[in-house]
Amino acid sequence: MSPVDLEAPPADWERLRNWRGHARQKLLAQRQEMRSYVRRARGELAKRLLQDCQVGLPVALDRAHSMEFWNWQPGAPMGLGLWSIPIPKRRDPIVPAALIVPLLGFDADGYRLGYGSGFYDRWLAQTEPRPFCIGLAYDDALLPSIRPQAHDVPMDVIVTDLRVMTRDRATNAVSWDPPEWATTNRARLL
């Protein structure tokens, strides 16, 4: 797959919201072909990731973008939450030390484009101490910039199918492995 072909994001918020919506549509269309592979691999990956750790599943509490993470263990009874999304039947809120955050898109500075509801953005902005945030994305989901707003929180790490970005919280410095990636791709996209 190739990077998403989009014009540079506008600076004003109203046009930027529309641009982000258009970027989401293009990225979602690219993901359709990957869904069946991910479903097959998900079970084995989950078993390995969940060994000997506390896991919290995100639970949308209401349509006003409130979210909690509820303690979950494999085999725990599940119910249906908002939008019929499976959630643990028992409410046991936790504040995770680390999060695996869904990224539909991202920029070279480590900011994410989510799926548009703002649940993660709002939760991260109000949570102290902020968990260590690991974003997962396809490398071709790189955007020129998401033009971060006050509510946008950068990821500490972004892992793609080709490279890894790390951010130093103290200095906000971003590095990419391999390091030439950010310079090469930023120049191409801007």
* pTM value surpassing 0.85: no
The CATH number of the domain holding residue 151 is 3.40.50
Three-state DSSP at 143 gives: coil
The domain in which residue 78 lies consists of 55-95
Domain count, the chain: 2
Q: Are residues 100 and 151 in the same domain?
A: yes
Residue 30 lies in a domain: yes
Is the CA virtual torsion 114, 119, 120, 126 positive or negative?
A: positive
pLDDT tens digit sequence for 28-59: 666 554 444 444 445 555 666 666 678 889 99
Q: Are residues 157 and 118 in the same domain?
A: yes
How far apart, in whole angstroms, are the C-alpha atoms of residue 166 and residue 70?
27
Three-state DSSP at 59 gives: strand
Tokens 């293009």 locate to 26
Residue 2 lies in a domain: no
Q: Are residues 144 and 172 in the same domain?
A: yes
pLDDT tens digit sequence for 56-83: 899 999 877 689 999 998 888 999 998 8
Average pLDDT over residues 115-121: 82
pLDDT tens digit sequence for 132-165: 999 998 888 999 999 898 888 999 999 988 889 9
**Please, which residues bridge with residue 87 across strands?**
79
Amino acid at 161: D
Q: Are residues 128 and 182 in the same domain?
A: yes
Residue 102 lies in a domain: yes
